[in-house]
Structure 1
Amino acid sequence: MKIERLPAWSLLSRTSLDALLASQGGAAPETIAIQPSVTDIDVGTVPLLATTRLLIERAQVCGGLTLTATGALSRADTRAIFDVMSWPGYDKAHVLVMNKVLNEADVMPVEATRLIAQTAKLLRRRDLRLLATKKAQALLAEGQTADLFRLLFEIVFWRINLGYFDRVPVEQWPQNHIGIVLWCLSVAAQDWSTPAEMVPVCTVPDEALEDGPADFPGFAFLSRVLQPLTWFGLMELRLIGEESQPEWRRERQYRKTTLYDRVLHFDVEVMRPRGFSH
């Protein structure tokens, strides 16, 4: 008989579950404290911060980034950032094989970073130029890395729709209960696991997923939770299988990094599991 793993959130009190869902105005719930310290954050190990800095610094040096008529970055700016960026689980060599020229839509890390930076009001549009704001200049100053981390983290998980990047036809899940997901990962992601293995433990089921392909939940969890957490250095990835195979064909496993518990703090009530006392 197969024994199903119980969702980690079943250990939380109803009050704590409600508190983890209580986001207002695009901010994290009050029960989640995002508290990176300056000593915690090495920009080189936080890809989203590093790539955001690259965009802002290029905008400052070049008098702005050039935009296309649709608001995307120009090929020249896209390629310049692509060449110097580093992004977890992103095979740059494969991208170059598949694309003779690089449009912004061909380079997800650049497109995502640009959208996030604009949402954060670090870059602003003026005609067909994207300019660095005073807010960006302030957050790039020495000693402001933790504030930049906190700002981008809230925007990624509570203000933008991460489903935009994967096109899975189930909007918002599991981002609509991301506070619960993040707590579940804090207690259940110590060991290497696949996205599909994490889904029943760390998410609340959605009936809409039952009508789609069997791999929809795992793929959505990967693209909307695990991969974005690697952008912040909070999850790490390993690839299983022959190294001679392309990365996209190898199994992906994830676990939380030591930074996860140093940055995210949860004020929740864990109920004692029911059962016999010994």
Structure 2
Amino acid sequence: MIELLPVDDAEPAFVHSPLLKGALLTLEYIETNGPIGLTPSKALKRYFVEWAAEAFAWPQYTAEELYYLNKVLNEADFVPLFMLHDLLISLKLVRHQKGAMHVTKLGKQLRYHPGALWAVLAKRIFGGFDATPYARYEVPFVGNWDVYLNVINVEAHMGCTDDHLCEVLFGSIRGQHGLAHANLKSAFYVHCLRSLVWLGLLHETTTGEALRRERIFSKTPLWLAALWLETDPLVLARQVH
């Protein structure tokens, strides 16, 4: 069972959540500067994408890294912003009107309550939010957040790789299942692990290069502050021993 614990607005662990930071900065931008212009396809206009790339300083998507790959920045080039835009719309924190994105009454309220804002973002993601549009290629994946979070709660307590999680959860072994394992791991990252990193619940580090590259995941202080899970007693038992 996934249970979100109430977290105080001043919780220091929120520093680990780039998704919360991006949401707060976007809502603040609209209230300070007015509605954000939209393209005919309802994407955020470049002037805001460029501002957000600098202001968000999103890990692995900094302005420097984005401009290294793109001469100009469109919303689709800044994947976290692309996803954040859809989240804010689906949660009715912003709305599209007359060619621009406006903040709603609810968005104005939650801007001043980071704990509540983080909770609604997390509940939306755990409630079946589809991450497929934010992948470089289609990676369909059917998963169960309840199972994933409870397993990660135990396995990543001292840090572990995504290869290890795929072996525990799916019986897929890197050295035995080749391309099928690589595809499964990619899908699991897009639909689960990346969202947990962006929510600020997991910390991701990368070691090695090319085929030797490994992602290592560990729980952040926000995981401990915001989640209550059925496997918590197992984690406590491991700590005792």
**Length-normalised TM-score, structure 1:** 0.73
Shift of 1:270: 8.6
Equivalent in 258, 261, 272 of residue 221 of structure 2 = 258
SS class of match (1:68)? coil
Alignment of 1:10-89 (within 5 A): 31-38=1-8, 39-40=10-11, 42-89=13-60
Query: Equivalent residue for 1:120?
Result: 91
Spell out, residue by residue over 1:137-157, the C-alpha distance to the aligned partner (whole angstroms, 9 max, x if none). 11112xx22211110001123
Q: 1:225 to 1:154 in 2, by over 3 A?
A: same
In structure 2, how many angstroms separate the alpha carbons of the residues matched to 1:156 and 1:34?
A: 13
Tell me, yes or no, if the aligned pair for 2:16 and 2:201 is still in contact at 8 Å. Answer: no
SS across alignment from 1:148: helix
Shift of 1:132: 0.5
Which of residues 133, 140, 149 in structure 1 aligns to 2:118?
149
- Which residue is 2:237 aligned to? none
User: What are the ranges of 5 or more consecutive residues in structure 2 without an aligned counterpart?
Assistant: 235-241
Q: How does 1:1-278 map to 2 (within 5 A)?
A: 31-38=1-8, 39-40=10-11, 42-141=13-112, 144-166=113-135, 169-174=138-143, 177-202=144-169, 213-241=180-208, 250-267=213-230
Q: By how many angstroms is 1:89 displaced?
A: 3.4
**1:55–1:114 Cα contact (<8 Å) kept:** no
Q: Equivalents in 1 of 2:212, 2:50: separation in Å?
A: 26
Residues 62, 227 of structure 1: alpha-carbon distance in 2 compared, 3 angstrom cutoff: same
Instruction: Name the aligned partner's letter for residue 125 of structure 1.
Output: H
Report what 2:238 is aligned to: none
Provide the C-alpha distance between the structure 1 equivalents of 2:62 and 2:201, rounded to a whole number of angstroms: 20
The runs of 5 or more residues in structure 1 that have no matched partner are 1-30, 272-278
Aligned counterparts of 2:74 and 2:135: Cα–Cα separation in 1: 17
- Give distance in 1, aligned partners of 2:63 and 2:51: 13
Report the Cα offset of residue 109 of structure 1.
1.4
Alpha-carbon distance change, 201 to 213 in structure 1, aligned in 2, over 3 angstroms: closer
1:37 maps to a residue whose letter is V
Separation in 2, partners of 1:262, 1:122: 24
Distance 2:18 2:79 in 1: 13
Larger Rg, first or second structure (1 or 2): 1
8 Å contact kept, 2:18–2:199: yes
CA deviation after TM superposition for structure 1 residue 269, in Å: 11
Query: TM-score of the superposition, structure 2-length normalised?
Result: 0.84
Alpha-carbon distance in 1 for matches of 2:130, 2:61: 21
The number of residue pairs the alignment matches comes to: 228
Partner of 1:238, secondary structure, is: strand
Counterpart secondary structure, 1:72: coil
Q: Deviations over 1:175-203 (max 9, x none)?
A: xx111101111111123322122113235
Q: Secondary structure at the match of 1:124?
A: strand
TM-superposed CA distance for 1:266, in Å, is: 2.2
Residues 173, 187 of structure 1: alpha-carbon distance in 2 compared, 3 angstrom cutoff = same
Query: 1:10 aligns to what?
Result: none
Alpha-carbon distance, 1:168 to partner: 5.3
Q: CA deviation at 1:171?
A: 2.6
Residue pair 1:32, 1:265 contacting (<8 A) in 2 also: yes
Are residues 204 and 127 of structure 1, via their aligned partners in 2, closer, same or farther at CA, if it must alter by over 3 Å? farther
The residue identity in structure 1 corresponding to 2:121 is: L
Cα shift readout 1:9-65 (whole Å, capped 9, x = no counterpart): xxxxxxxxxxxxxxxxxxxxxx32101421535443311111001111111122201
